[in-house]
Structure 1
Amino acid sequence: MGRAEENVEGSNGLEQLSLFITQRADLLRYISIIAADAMLAEDIVQEAWVRFNAAAATQTIHEPRRFLFRIARNLALDDRRRRGLEEKLFTGDNEKALFVASDAPSVERSVEAASELVLIRAALAKLPDRTRQAFLLHRVEGLTLVEIGARLGVSKSVAHELVTDAVEHCRAICRRGT
């Protein structure tokens, strides 16, 4: 085992630099195979050196050559995965395109919701005033049945009946679609 392959610990960086210089050509050949691009391999090897040097400054590295090659390999594989994903996302080939789900409702669901809202408004317009008020206080303003009862001057159980009647009426209208 040569000096560059010994443990790297507590040094002033000369051991790391010596290892990098002696292994650079092998590292470039190895990464060029993974990256399939000489310029990209050069960038990856440089990034591997930066990361290796930073790690060696803060920890003991028992197998520095292996560690350096592992860093470079991981960087090359990460880059290959990233490029593959970008290719899928940004190519004109719709069969290979990656579609990301949206939180926004579909056009069909938006039309259905608008249609349903029209039906509910029509259903509410047909309700007696106190029933409509109880429903709106509960569903729109978020009041409890006790609060609705106090506001309308009725008991909690009557407020419950009014809200339930309104909900059932709206459901029936929506089911019929009229």
Structure 2
Amino acid sequence: MARRNLGLSSGAQALKGSDGLRQERLALRLYEAQRGALVAYAARMLGDVSRAEDIVQDAWLLFDRLPDKQAIAEPLAYLRRMVGNLSINALRHVALRQRLTDRDMEAATRMVADPFPICPPEASHGSFIGEIVQPISSS
């Protein structure tokens, strides 16, 4: 995939030696130039372009809040790693939610399928009903 340089040295050393405002502008130019590639990268991981756009936006917001971007040797690689990590976290979250939902569904199915939910598992239904009916009929 071809990368647009825009005078940013493909991210390498792009933010070095910049004053604060210039550093912010260069970081924004880097993001704008690479946004499409970052979305494509996240979309391949997530299988969802809309979610990938959200992940890239979240990564940018986190990157933009970094106090000293000059200390980052490879800003593009750093931003790409952030997108990758956020994508992996999103996938883990979906998998966890699915496992919990499946477990809840299994428990609900067992509860609904059991006609005598108050019956102890070791007791047969007939003996349990007999224990209840006997004291009532002897009264």
Same fold (TM > 0.5): yes
Q: Distance in 1 between matches of 2:44 and 2:105?
A: 27
Q: Distance in 2 between matches of 1:30 and 1:74?
A: 12
Q: Specify every segment of 5 or more residues in structure 2 that has no aligned partner in the other structure, as ranges.
A: 108-119, 121-139
Instruction: Return the TM-score normalized by structure 2.
Output: 0.61
- Residue 67 of structure 1 is matched in structure 2 by 78
Q: Specify every segment of 5 or more residues in structure 1 that has no aligned partner in the other structure, as ranges.
A: 96-107, 109-178
Aligned residue for 2:51, secondary structure, equals: helix
From the CA coordinates, give the structure whose radius of gyration is larger.
1
Aligned residue for 1:94, secondary structure, equals: helix
Structure 1 stretches (4+) deviating beyond 6 angstroms?
Answer: none
2:68 to 33, 46, 58: 58
Q: Distance in 1 between matches of 2:78 and 2:36?
A: 16
- Residue 93 of structure 2 is matched in structure 1 by 82
How many pairs are equivalent? 95
Given residue 6 of structure 1, which amino acid in structure 2 is its aligned partner?
A
- Per-residue CA distance 1:134-157 (angstroms, 9 max, x = gap): xxxxxxxxxxxxxxxxxxxxxxxx
Aligned residue for 2:106, secondary structure, equals: coil
- Residue 30 of structure 2 is matched in structure 1 by 19
Q: Distance in 1 between matches of 2:53 and 2:79?
A: 14
Identity rate of aligned residues, in percent? 28
Does the alignment pair 1:6 with 2:16? no
Given residue 57 of structure 2, which amino acid in structure 1 is its aligned partner?
Q
Q: Distance in 2 between matches of 1:3 and 1:29?
A: 20
- Residue 124 of structure 2 is matched in structure 1 by none
Q: Distance in 2 between matches of 1:68 and 1:87?
A: 29
- Residue 47 of structure 2 is matched in structure 1 by 36
Q: Distance in 2 between matches of 1:82 and 1:16?
A: 29
CA RMSD of aligned residues (A): 2.3
Q: Distance in 1 between matches of 2:61 and 2:83?
A: 10
Aligned residue for 1:83, secondary structure, equals: helix
